[in-house]
Structures are given as C-alpha cells and as structure tokens.
Amino acid sequence: MSISEPTQTTGSESWRQRDRETVWHAMSPYSASQNPMVVSRGEGPYIVDEDGNRYLDAMSGLWCMNLGYSERELADAAFAQMTEMPYYPMSHTNKPAIALSEKLNEWLGGKYRIFYSNSGSDANEVAFKIARQFHAQNGQPQRWKVISRYRAYHGNSMGALAATGQFERKYKYEPLAPGFVHVPPPDCYHCPFGKKPDGCGMECAEIYDQVINWETPETVAAVILEPVITGGGMIVPPDGYLNRVREICDKYGVLMIVDEVICGFGRSGKPFGFQHFDVVPDIVSMAKGITSGYLPLSATAVRAELFDAFRSDDAYAHFRHVNTFGGNAVSCAVAVRTLEVMEERNLVDRAAELGAQLQAKLLPLTAHPNVGDVRTFGFLAGIELVNDKATREPADGALLASVIAKCKQMGIIISKNGDTVRGQGNVLTLCPPLVVTDEELSLIVDTVVAAIESATADAQVAAGGN
C-alpha cells in the first residue's frame, strides 16, 4: 500500500481510522490510543500535524531530536551512503562505522572500543554481557550481579528492564532476568534516608558500599547509572555523588557502566554527562542523540584496557553477540555527520548556554504553591508538581495531564515521567532541541508557566476553592 489518502475518505480522521485498525501504540492506554495526533512533517524544532497545527516540540521527540527536524545535512549523508553501500553486517566492517568509532573516542575523551546496536536497551544489554564475560575471562565467573537504582530507566528488554527501577514498567512482565539489585536514588527532594541538606552524609552513595558487601563483592560485576536520572523524574545527584560511587567501584573491582542514552551528545552542556563529574566510566552506553533521532543506532563504548580480556582465540573467549542492523553503514554515516554538524555549529556550548537560560527562567516557578521542586541538568528540566509544599505530597496525574494538554493547546509539546513509580509520576519534563532560539525558549517557559497557573486554578475551582 502506498502512503496516500484512502479514496473514500480524506483528512486526518481517515488516517486515524486506518491507524486504529492496524497500529499498536507505545505507552498509551487503549482509549488514548484511539485518537492519536497524525504528525505529517517537521521543520527545525517544530512539528506539524495532518490538520495543519504547528507545535514547538519541547521534548525533542523522545529526548532525541537534538538537531530538530528535516535537517538537510543528515538527509544528504543518508542518501550518499545508501547509494554507495547501504548495509553489511559487522562481522566485518564498513568505513562509516570506523569513522564514527574514531569520532566517539574524541567526544569521550579517552580510548574506547565501540560495539554497535540499535537502541538504548540493546546498548545496555551489551554492557551487561560484556561486564559478566570480562570478569569470567579474568578468572571471576561468579561476578554476575549488576547494581542499579530505583526510579532509573535502562530499557525495555528483559535484562535492561530488570535493571530498570520502575515498578510500573515491569508489572505483568516479571519474572525478568535475575541478578539485578537496586539501591535508593540520590533524590534530595524526597531523600529516602530522611536527611536534610545540612545533615547529608551522602548516604545515597555510601549505600553502594553496604550493598556490595551484603551481596558479597566477589559476586558483583557492575554498577549502572545515568549521570542524572532522566525519565524517572529528572533526579539530579548531589555534588560528589558520582565520584564516591566511582571510588566504591574501584575499591571492590566493580565496573562502572554510565548510561548516556539521554544525557549524552551535548545535552548536558558537555559532550557527555559524566564529564561534569570528573569520573571515567568503564563502559558507556549511548543512543538517541547519536543520530539526532534520524535513524536507529546505539553504541556501547568499552574502555580499551577491558578489551584486553577479549584478545584470545580460546573457545568462547570472543564476544558472542550480533545485531543485524548494529553498525548499519547508513546510520553510522548519519551519526558522523550529526557530530560534525554539532561541532561546526558549536552546539555543545550552545546547549550549556540554553541550559543556563532555562534554569534562570524556571526559577520563579519555585514560588508557585503547587511546584515543589525545579531540577535542571544542562538543557534538561524537571518540574515536580505537588498538592502541598509542606508535605511534598505528589500531585495526581489529572493535574499533570491538564498542564500538558494546555501546553499543547498553546502550541508547545511537553511531557512527564509516565509509567514509572506508583504515586510519583508527577514531574513535568522538558528537553527542547538544541537548535531553538532564545525567543523560542522564552515561549516554551512562558507557556509552561501559564499552563501550570491555569491548570492549578481549574483544579482549585473543581475542588470547591475560591
């Protein structure tokens, strides 16, 4: 079937009807999935639906469209590679994959071996397998456990979902892969240890030492963490947190896996989020912004010294993992051009500048009676809505849905931390493309502020308030 209007009916409703009959939507309750927005085209930071409505996408699709939509440089790179050599499996190699590996090492600021996959979930699955095999080939096959954090998200596949610390993502899919242990998140707003800033002993980091000992150090292979918990509620750790976790990993010979799927590729105001914290990961997983969302691609970067454990022709010593489309030549060509464009346009520094503006513009929201906390990391933001500032009781989903709907009515797309932890899906999220102008950023923030004020006023009236 060609992508054309059906002959008997026309317009967006005809597309929706065809969608209802054949498409299964991601992360959508049934009723909501019956009336999807039909997105027809994109231009810069904007999308346009089939009815001609234009929206500024302040979520960059799914945290990935860093260069915005319809960037001709990336389309040209894809076309040129497609007409030259579109595909061959990575049991051998291709020139764009080699060039991208070199470019990633420049951005990482170190020496890494790069293994390619399709998605962030894939990249983390690869990281877990490499960590386990690395220890086994160094005479410690009993090291197989991975420590993750509650509220963190690391993917949808059975291993990555096991690492994920979000009950609502796991419900009805368990049992998942064994060997994943969780620790409390570094959530300074809802400190799981009951501490206040003036009494903090960095318990959220020290807990790793305890848990590794409780599990027995000789059984722990790796720790996985994002620099900042993004989709789980934009949870920014206190100063020194990642450094202390790195020290504990080194103490016990545990590998540190840093998930840069969202924080990477300039989003934080540096090439990668971990570079804000003066730590060196053993393994880095990445996806999304690697191609600015234009084609599927992910990568698992492994510190070069770890690769030495795989320099053997013994039976089962090689990494026995393959992905049909991992390292796809077209995707890698687009990724190389993505990073080149970001360098040419100085977009990493621009992200830092936009992030500082975003933080300053959102600051007045902290005085709102239903805004409990505003958290930013580079050009990312989370706005935690509460029913009561004193108790920090999370706002219910209806209020957040109202804010998001009002933003859309005013032409701005935002989101929230949906399907994560029961009762704590109360954080609005912002992740605009790195190509927005100062004026467009002001429009985003002004719209969010107006939507929060309007939605909370509506909720007060509905509750019988004045």
Rounded distance between C-alpha atoms, residue 356 and residue 350, angstroms: 10
Domains of the chain: 37-70+347-462 (3.90.1150.10), 72-344 (3.40.640.10)
What's the pLDDT tens digit per position in 138-170? 999 999 999 999 999 999 999 999 999 999 999
- Asked if 116 and 101 count as a contact pair (C-beta separation under 8 A), the reply is no
- Asked if 112 and 260 count as a contact pair (C-beta separation under 8 A), the reply is no
Q: What percent of the chain lies above the pLDDT cut of 70?
A: 97
pLDDT of residue 32: 85
Residue range 286-300: average pLDDT?
98
Tell me how crowded residue 75 is: count the other CB atoms within 10 A of its CB.
Answer: 13
What's the pLDDT tens digit per position in 179-225? 999 999 999 999 999 998 889 999 999 999 999 999 999 999 999 99
- Asked if 117 and 126 count as a contact pair (C-beta separation under 8 A), the reply is yes
Residue range 233-242: average pLDDT?
96
Rounded distance between C-alpha atoms, residue 237 and residue 242, angstroms: 8
pLDDT of residue 406: 98
Residue range 378-397: average pLDDT?
96
Is pLDDT above 60 for 3? Answer: no
Here the tokens at position 185 are 């998140």
- Asked if 240 and 202 count as a contact pair (C-beta separation under 8 A), the reply is yes
pLDDT of residue 465: 61
118 vs 3, higher pLDDT: 118
- Asked if 220 and 253 count as a contact pair (C-beta separation under 8 A), the reply is no
Task: Please state which of the ranges 130-139, 272-281, 456-465 shows the lowest mean pLDDT.
Answer: 456-465
Residue range 1-18: average pLDDT?
63
Rounded distance between C-alpha atoms, residue 12 and residue 50, angstroms: 5
Is pLDDT above 80 for 1? Answer: no
Local structure of residue 219 (DSSP, 8 states): G
- Pairing mode of beta strands 393-394, 381-388: antiparallel
Is pLDDT above 70 for 335? Answer: yes
Question: pTM for this structure?
Answer: 0.95
Indicate the angle between helix axes 397-409 and 438-462, nearest 10 degrees: 130
Rounded distance between C-alpha atoms, residue 308 and residue 282, angstroms: 13
Is pLDDT above 50 for 286? Answer: yes
455 — pLDDT class (breaks 50, 70, 90): very high
Local structure of residue 364 (DSSP, 8 states): G
pLDDT of residue 10: 54
The size of the chain, in residues, is 466
- Asked if 282 and 111 count as a contact pair (C-beta separation under 8 A), the reply is no
Here the tokens at position 391 are 């108790």
What's the pLDDT tens digit per position in 351-375? 999 999 999 999 999 999 999 999 9
What's the pLDDT tens digit per position in 442-453? 999 999 999 999
Residue range 408-413: average pLDDT?
97
Environment class of residue 310 by beta-carbon count within 10 Å: exposed (0-12), middle (13-18) or buried (19+)? Answer: middle
- Which residues on neighbouring strands pair with residue 220, listed in sequence order? 145
pLDDT of residue 9: 45
β-sheet with 112-117: strand ranges across: 112-117, 298-303, 283-286, 255-259, 220-225, 145-149, 180-183
One-letter identity of residue 321: H
217 vs 7, higher pLDDT: 217
Task: For 74-166, list the strands marked E by DSSP.
Answer: 112-117, 145-149
Q: Chain-wide mean pLDDT for the chain?
A: 95
pLDDT of residue 294: 98
13 — pLDDT class (breaks 50, 70, 90): very high
pLDDT of residue 7: 39
